[in-house]
């Protein structure tokens, strides 16, 4: 699978812009809100940071994925939610404030958890974490630069120039969704001869992961008697991951194009499952 300039330049720059856009909509209360809704926050964070990777791990083994594809699937589960999960939460009449708060908190944690969890996945599935170099400190710094720093800059702009931020943020939010489609389309076109093979290799596994964790997040929240809007929010936060970030970790930071395949198929499928999940929620409520 060839990627070239897409992974080395386009993806990192675009994710920086997307995270800046996220910062334009964030205020300090979005981070402190988790302390005001501790039950929902703990369930949401636990499901996303613990349950989601466990489900991905079981699926990778159950589907007997080749080592590099298994690691790629795991990296999807390590990524936080993003603008897409917030969008689906809004469309499905979920708790958008909770969705934004969970996305914000996990996005701050992710630069530290992704490298650690990825090293474990590479060590387990590939036999050696050194098979593809992933320097821990360097990776953490790189992720901080392209995820956390733009969020901080965006929050600063919102604080100083609120009108400008309010006008700019919706356009960047739209850009984030359109861009993911475009980058996936570019990768598909570049590798159109192999795309059927990619779906054969990882389509069933990524679809299973997506469906299971959407349901897991929702029904786990229901089990603990959270409100319907909160349950919808947690369902999407656990079930819809930041495909752009997963592509950057696999293609840019690790430099393994094979590991990108699960992120490509997942990013295509999650829009379908996301809309279907929202449709089903409206039917049962």
104-162 pLDDT per residue, tens:
888 888 888 998 999 899 989 987 544 456 667 777 887 888 778 888 888 898 888 88
Report the predicted TM-score, pTM, of the whole model to 2 decimal places.
0.85
Buried (b) or exposed (e) across 27-51, using 16+ Cβ within 10 A? eeebeebbeebeebbebbbebbbeb
Helix axes 83-91, 260-284, angle to 10 degrees: 20
Of 77-86, 108-117, 136-145, 179-188, least confident by mean pLDDT is 179-188
Which pLDDT score, from 0 to 100, does residue 259 have? 87
Residues 94, 227: contact at Cβ < 8 Å?
Answer: no
Higher pLDDT, residue 192 or 146: 146
> Residue 47: is its pLDDT beyond 80?
yes
Mean pLDDT of the chain: 84
Domains of the chain plus CATH, in order, are 5-279 (1.20.1530.20)
Percent of the chain with pLDDT over 70: 91
Which pLDDT score, from 0 to 100, does residue 165 have? 84
Average pLDDT (85-90) is 83
pLDDT digits (tens, 9 = 90+) for 249-272: 888 888 887 888 898 889 888 888
Residues 107, 80: contact at Cβ < 8 Å?
Answer: yes
Which pLDDT score, from 0 to 100, does residue 129 have? 47
Cα separation of the two ends of the chain: 43
Average pLDDT (34-38) is 78
Average pLDDT (69-94) is 87
**Collapsing DSSP states into helix, strand and coil, what is residue 224?**
coil
Which pLDDT score, from 0 to 100, does residue 155 have? 86
Higher pLDDT, residue 253 or 61: 61
- Distance from C-alpha of 123 to C-alpha of 12, rounded to nearest angstrom: 26
- The number of CA neighbours under 13 Å toward the Cβ of 7 is 23
The secondary structure of 11-71 as a DSSP string is HHHHHHHHHHHHHTT--HHHHHHHHHSHHHHHHHHHIIIIIHHHHHHHHHHHTT--HHHHH
Which pLDDT score, from 0 to 100, does residue 125 have? 92
Q: Which of 66-75, 157-166, 191-200 ranks highest by mean pLDDT?
A: 66-75
Buried (b) or exposed (e) across 196-234, using 16+ Cβ within 10 A? eebbebbbebbbbbbebbbebbbebbeeeebebbbbbbb
Which pLDDT score, from 0 to 100, does residue 5 have? 67
- The number of CA neighbours under 13 Å toward the Cβ of 42 is 7
- Distance from C-alpha of 70 to C-alpha of 88, rounded to nearest angstrom: 27
Which pLDDT score, from 0 to 100, does residue 236 have? 94
Residue with tokens 């080592």: 67
């Amino acid at each position: 699978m060839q990627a070239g300039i897409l992974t080395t330049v386009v993806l990192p720059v675009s994710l920086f812009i997307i995270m800046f856009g996220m910062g334009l909509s964030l205020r300090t209360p979005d981070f402190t809100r988790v302390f005001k809704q501790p039950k929902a926050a703990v369930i949401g964070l636990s499901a996303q940071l613990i349950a989601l990777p466990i489900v991905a791990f079981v699926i990778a083994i159950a589907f007997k994925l080749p080592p590099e594809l298994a690691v790629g699937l795991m990296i999807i589960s390590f990524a936080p939610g993003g603008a897409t999960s917030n969008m689906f939460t809004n469309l499905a009449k979920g708790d958008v404030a909770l969705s934004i708060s969970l996305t914000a908190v996990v996005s701050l944690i992710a630069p530290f958890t992704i490298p650690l969890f990825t090293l474990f996945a590479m060590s387990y599935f590939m036999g050696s974490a050194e098979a593809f170099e992933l320097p821990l400190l360097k990776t953490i710094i790189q992720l901080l630069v392209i995820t956390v720093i733009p969020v901080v800059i965006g929050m600063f702009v919102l604080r100083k120039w609120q009108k400008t931020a309010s006008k700019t943020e919706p356009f960047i939010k739209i850009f984030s969704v359109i861009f993911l489609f475009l980058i996936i389309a570019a990768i598909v076109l570049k590798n159109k001869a192999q795309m059927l093979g990619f779906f054969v290799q990882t389509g069933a596994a990524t679809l299973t992961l997506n469906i299971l964790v959407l349901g897991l997040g929702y029904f786990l929240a229901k089990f603990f008697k959270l409100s319907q809007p909160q349950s919808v929010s947690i369902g999407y936060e656990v079930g819809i991951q930041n495909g752009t970030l997963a592509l950057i970790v696999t293609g840019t930071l690790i430099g393994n194009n094979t590991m990108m395949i699960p992120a490509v198929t997942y990013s295509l499928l999650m829009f379908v499952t996301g809309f279907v999940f929202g449709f089903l929620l409206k039917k049962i409520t």
